[in-house]
Structure 1
């Protein structure tokens, strides 16, 4: 199904602007438990296999901001370093990680990446 078809299935004026907490507590948690979203809005792709200019065409929804589920890939089989290399560069973590809380419970971290 093309992106235009999926967007047209949504009600007029629909905007997808979830908070970091909502992304983790509803979308990511459900994804890990294999509970499908009621609307196909966040595709699963291996994001680190693509250069930044290739990502908009992979998105299900959005014009300036896109969301993806991406499995982790490790640089070394027995290591903890993520593999973020693409065909023409790599994604590098930058800045300070932001802790995400649901109420008083720590539920995740937000990392900023640059290409």
Structure 2
């Protein structure tokens, strides 16, 4: 399942006029970007890049960003820890992204449309990793599973 990560210069990076910022709300990220990416595999936007968060260290991500300064936004595909399991793999070569706190529900009007999780980067291997001095934080957004099941035909669920 595609997800959006907000992590926080490349030749492909867009030059913006002074004062311009790309700072969508949580609801806008879900409805205008993630949902469209989920519906159209080839959907792309000038504002959000694509990254493999398991093959990239956090300090490499700014160079992969399409635009702007901190925070940066990326689409990424969920990587499962085990082929037959449901646990998400969040490890990189030098560390891992650890979930902190409780996920935040994202609503549009009164309907639940997605979730936002906060992750912090730790060096080393779980559970003995240590929080990095750089304080890398990622906000991971995903569609609500009930919403994605309503959208997809039964053959694609």
**Contact 1:74-1:80 within 8 A present in 2 as well:** yes
**Equivalent in the alignment of 1:110:** 116
- Structure 1: 5+ residue runs without aligned partners? none
Which structure features the higher share of strand residues? Answer: 2
Q: Give every structure 1 segment of 4 or more consecutive aligned residues whose post-TM-superposition deviation is greater than 6 Å.
A: none
Query: Which secondary structure does the structure 1 equivalent of 2:31 belong to?
Result: helix
Report the RMSD for the aligned CA atoms in angstroms: 1.8
User: Greater relative contact order: 1 or 2 (C-alpha under 8 angstroms, separation 6 or more)?
Assistant: 2
Which structure features the higher share of helix residues? Answer: 1
CA separation of 1:5 and 1:84: change in aligned 2, threshold 3 A: closer
Q: Which segment is superposed worse, 57-66 or 39-48?
A: 39-48
TM-score (normalised: structure 2): 0.65
**Contact 2:12-2:66 within 8 A present in 1 as well:** no
The alignment of Structure 1 onto Structure 2 pairs a total of residues equal to 112
In structure 1, how many angstroms separate the alpha carbons of the residues matched to 2:11 and 2:83? 39
